[in-house]
Amino acid sequence: MSLNQQPILTQAQLIEELRSLGYGDASETRVALWRKSELLPPFDGGGSGQGRGCGREKCFWTSRTVLDQAVAVSDLLKTYNRLEDLYLPLWQLGFDIPLYRGRPALMAPLLKAAEDFSVREEGNEAIEDLIDEQVSKISPLIRRKILFFDVPEESMSVIVNVIANPNYAFWDEPYEDGVTKLKKWELSFAQRCREHLGNSMEVNREVVASNTDMLKDALFINRYLSLPNLLAVTQDCTNEELQVVQRDLQVGRQILLVFRRIVELISPFLPESWRLQPEKMKVVFNFGRIMVWVDLVLRRNGFGPLIDQALSQILNQLHHDFDEAAEGQLQAAGPEIGRALTTVETMFTDLVVRKDERNAHAPTV
């Protein structure tokens, strides 16, 4: 019986297979630490499973899925520096990680955000004032990171209030003012894109004048997905609820595998900045963490059947549409897609340059 056909796997055999797959740093010490840290499951054959009462060679795993998990750990260490940061991504990937290991990472951003937006004064105005203050601080930082993102601060305050303030006054002047300025910014941004791309792009003023996708669903988001709701549900969710969400993530992973294949086909033609590097995988897992919060809250509020239906329909549609012929067509279009993305990248750079030039020539008071 060959090594790949063996129904069991000892630690030594696991290390041998990892090395054969190109993970040359696999070692007894490293794999033992992963097992001790519960990044890998305990031995379930040959004794107690902890190396006690039996020689090391006698202890083994009876499921070879441990190899997949060890590969995932090795790959994640290209993105994360600390072992404790791997529990939640591994759980998101569908591996059997003790939930008490993953909960802290699931909760940490929500607790930090709740602390940032906590107020001592009573009343709705207190949190709105705090949000305005926070937005005024982070807005310059965002603009330095995303140079073309010059959304008015009043509009950013509206968006943050929708997410963080469960008692937000949608009927009040600050909301209306932020929405109005956001629509004006959208029109201005679209016009600047048109100036760069030329007459090939027309601005549909009716589309821009209508409510934005974010603010169109603002009341729903505020009611179900605001920060206090996400925090409350994530804090007291049961293991059973998390297991249901993990199942949803596996369907989502199948969907992402289709998109991964799409990216693989066009990747040779993409600008370097558009290629998904290991260090950018944190963005994917951070987005997955947000989806866990959203899934938990929506299922808690009775939207489970809709989630099941939507995930099933999306996956079936992708498998139906993305066949061998579609792969060939996509690959043939790769060079054109790459040129289009290069144009977009150049456009955003040019928008920043033009804005700086306008600011430099603007009259001073």
- What's the average model confidence in pLDDT over 46-65? 65
Are residue 310 and residue 223 in the same domain, yes or no?
Answer: no
Output 292 or 256, whichever has higher pLDDT: 292
What's the pLDDT band for 108 if we cut at 50, 70, 90?
very high
Residue 123, by phi and psi: left (phi above 0), alpha (psi -120 to 50) or beta? left
Does residue 50 carry a pLDDT above 50?
no
Are residue 266 and residue 325 in the same domain, yes or no?
Answer: yes
Number of structural domains in the chain: 3
Output 346 or 160, whichever has higher pLDDT: 160
With respect to residue 269, please indicate whether it lies within any of the assigned structural domains: yes
How far is residue 149's CA from residue 139's CA, in Å, rounded to a whole number? 9
With respect to residue 89, please indicate whether it lies within any of the assigned structural domains: no
How far is residue 121's CA from residue 125's CA, in Å, rounded to a whole number? 9
How far is residue 112's CA from residue 114's CA, in Å, rounded to a whole number? 5
Are residue 282 and residue 349 in the same domain, yes or no?
Answer: yes
Are residue 208 and residue 255 in the same domain, yes or no?
Answer: no
Final residue of a domain: which of 228, 248, 282?
A: 228
- What's the average model confidence in pLDDT over 280-299? 91
How far is residue 17's CA from residue 25's CA, in Å, rounded to a whole number? 12
**H/E stretch holding 60:** strand 60-61
- What's the average model confidence in pLDDT over 290-314? 95
Give the count of beta carbons closer than 10 Å to the beta carbon of residue 229.
19
Are residue 71 and residue 167 in the same domain, yes or no?
Answer: no
Final residue of a domain: which of 61, 77, 93?
A: 77
With respect to residue 92, please indicate whether it lies within any of the assigned structural domains: no
Are residue 241 and residue 349 in the same domain, yes or no?
Answer: yes
With respect to residue 301, please indicate whether it lies within any of the assigned structural domains: yes
- What's the average model confidence in pLDDT over 140-148? 69
Per-residue pLDDT of 219-239, as tens digits, reads 998 999 999 999 999 999 999
Mean pLDDT, the chain, as a whole number?
Answer: 82
Could you give the percent of the chain with pLDDT greater than 70? 79
Are residue 169 and residue 257 in the same domain, yes or no?
Answer: no
pLDDT of 354 reads 59
Three-class SS state of 293: helix
- What's the average model confidence in pLDDT over 345-351? 70
With respect to residue 82, please indicate whether it lies within any of the assigned structural domains: no
Are residue 218 and residue 255 in the same domain, yes or no?
Answer: no
pLDDT of 164 reads 86
pTM score: 0.77
Alpha-carbon distances of 350 from 1, 76, 132, 276, rounded to whole Å? 62, 36, 30, 24
pLDDT of 136 reads 82
How far is residue 188's CA from residue 169's CA, in Å, rounded to a whole number? 27
| Residue pair 53/70 in contact by the 8 Å Cβ criterion | no
- What's the average model confidence in pLDDT over 62-71? 93
Range of the domain at 325: 237-361
